[in-house]
Structure 1
Amino acid sequence: MKNNLVTEDYRYNRYCNISFVLSEKKERFSEFFRASHPRTSNFYKYISPRKSVENRMFREIYNNRCVYCGVSTQVLPASLFEVDHFLSQSECVKHSIANVNYIDNLVSSCSMCNRGKSNYSCSSEYVDLLHPDKNQYPVVFKRDKRYNLEIKEIYQNNTDVVELFRVLKFDNELRRIDYLIMELKDFCKIYPEDSLVCQIKDIIEPIEQHRRDNSI
């Protein structure tokens, strides 16, 4: 039986029910960080290096997934995940946010989403809706019957949402490929004794290779 979270959140599939509710996880991480680095408020400096303990812990907060598109380390190597500033320095100034490198402005993202988003500009009234830590993305985006990402009808005329969809390249075919790879892998994990699993794994392999060849 499907979990409601799986049904509603485009970042998960029928065989995966991990949550993007992160508040307690980030609070615990912040406590660890402050104990380890009491003299700095620049979280980014310590979290961004890929080989740091803080980077590994930060990715784990996000279940080793991109908070935007949902791709995980099932598909892409950890080296292609980055710490993203949800709001850039100029956007923080616009929205009167004092510290661009503070934990609340940092999220875990795949390279494709992070670099596409770049200096994305958002209206103040939609910052909370579009900050991925607020867990409102399942309200804004969904998958259609062919597993493509699209904007839900209520937000299709919202310029901030439309622009975010564009810069994140949510209409890229790789978004659907990533989702299908993860769904197939999760199926194989849950039903390892199923007679179809070996055949599915043979199908997945060339798809995964195609995805790796198109990684940035």
Structure 2
Amino acid sequence: MLSDYRNTLYCSELQDVYSKKNDLEMRIRKSTPSTKVIYNRVKEGSSVYKEAFMGIYNYKCGYCGNSIKNISKTMFEVDHYICESSFKSKEVAGEMVNLILACYDCNRSKSNFFITNQYKATLNPDSEKIKDVFIRDDFYYIKISDNYKDDDFISSFYDKLKLSYQSRRLDYLLLNLHGLCERVEETQSNQLSSILRKLQQKRNLASLKLIAEDASFSEAQPT
């Protein structure tokens, strides 16, 4: 069993995330000294800082492990790990240390879920501890590990991010196929690529449906 549920055999491990994020923040502040909210610099899709931020996470979601190999870059967002509404100012909420790369599914599902002090370190995607909280089973599902299966807060986080959904399983399968296609002979690669395209189409349709549902929900909210 892999140590990080977000990675396949073909994925690189996250390395020096804290120091890389710190270096990026220093780069931003040196380039634009007037910057008050780091979040505003890295959230924009066309920003060189967004690209650098994504690189720190190996272009993968910090929560579920989905990758730009599966979905478009535009489907990745910068999440406030501790929700913005719990801070006194946007400046503090938007500090680099509180920002996580998240896929659209995870970010919108997580929404304003508040992570209490007791679980801040445990659930932080930048730390090693989250690897002990969630595992990937033999059928590619994300599961809560035995050590935390009776923890109500962990279960709430797991349910809120919809980590049990079939789409998470499909994303992981797609990542495995991408990695395998890059390593096998051309004939086998062509066969796998055909399967991959069909699964990719299915995944894209699911993403479009989620975006449409999210837009409909937002329009229905009172202003």
Q: 1:75 aligns with which of 70, 77, 97?
A: 70
Residue 49 (1) aligns with residue 44 (2): yes
- Residue 170 of structure 2 corresponds to 177
Counterpart CA distance in 1 for 2:90 and 2:200 is 40
Match of 1:107 in 2: 100
Aligned to 2:116, which of 123, 126, 145? 123
Aligned length in residues: 208
Q: Deviations over 1:44-85 (max 9, x none)?
A: 111111111111111111111100000000000000000100
Match of 1:61 in 2: 56
Shift of 1:135: 3.1
The runs of 5 or more residues in structure 1 that have no matched partner are: 1-5
Q: Residue 188 of structure 2 aligns with which residue? A: 196
- Provide the C-alpha distance between the structure 1 equivalents of 2:90 and 2:151, rounded to a whole number of angstroms: 23
- 8 A Cα contact 1:15 1:190, kept in partner: no
1:18 to 13, 24, 44: 13
SS, match of residue 38 in structure 1: coil
CA contact 1:69–1:113 (8 Å) conserved in 2: yes
Structure 2: 5+ residue runs without aligned partners?
Answer: 212-223
SS in 1 for 2:197: helix
Would you say 1:142 and 2:135 are equivalent positions?
Answer: yes
Name 2:152's counterpart in structure 1: 159
Structure-2 residue corresponding to 1:209: 201
Once residues 194 and 205 of structure 2 are traced to their aligned partners in structure 1, the CA distance between those partners, rounded to angstroms, is 18
CA RMSD for the aligned pairs? 1.9
Task: Give the TM-score normalised by structure 1.
Answer: 0.90
Q: In the aligned structure 1, how far is the partner of 2:99 from the partner of 2:12?
A: 23
SS at match of 2:102: strand
Instruction: Out of 14-23 and 177-186, give the one that drifted further.
Output: 14-23
Poorly superposed stretches of 4+, deviation over 3 Å: none
Q: Deviations over 1:118-173 (max 9, x none)?
A: 11122211111112112322110001111111100111122221111011100110
Secondary structure (helix, strand or coil) at the match of 2:147 reads helix
Report which stretch shifted further, 195-204 or 73-82. 195-204
Please say if residues 22 and 62 of structure 1, whose CA atoms lie closer than 8 Å, have aligned partners that are also in contact. yes
1:27 aligns with 2:19: no
Provide TM-score, normalisation by structure 2.
0.87
Are residues 133 and 157 of structure 1, via their aligned partners in 2, closer, same or farther at CA, if it must alter by over 3 Å? same
CA–CA distance in structure 1, aligned partners of residues 10 and 47 of structure 2: 31
Out of 168, 179, 182, the residue aligned to residue 161 of structure 2 is: 168
Provide the residue aligned with 2:180 in structure 1. Answer: 187
Query: Taking CA–CA contacts closer than 8 Å with sequence separation of 6 or more, which of the two structures ends up with the larger relative contact order?
Result: 1
CA contact (8 A) 2:84 2:90 kept: no
Seq. identity, %:
32
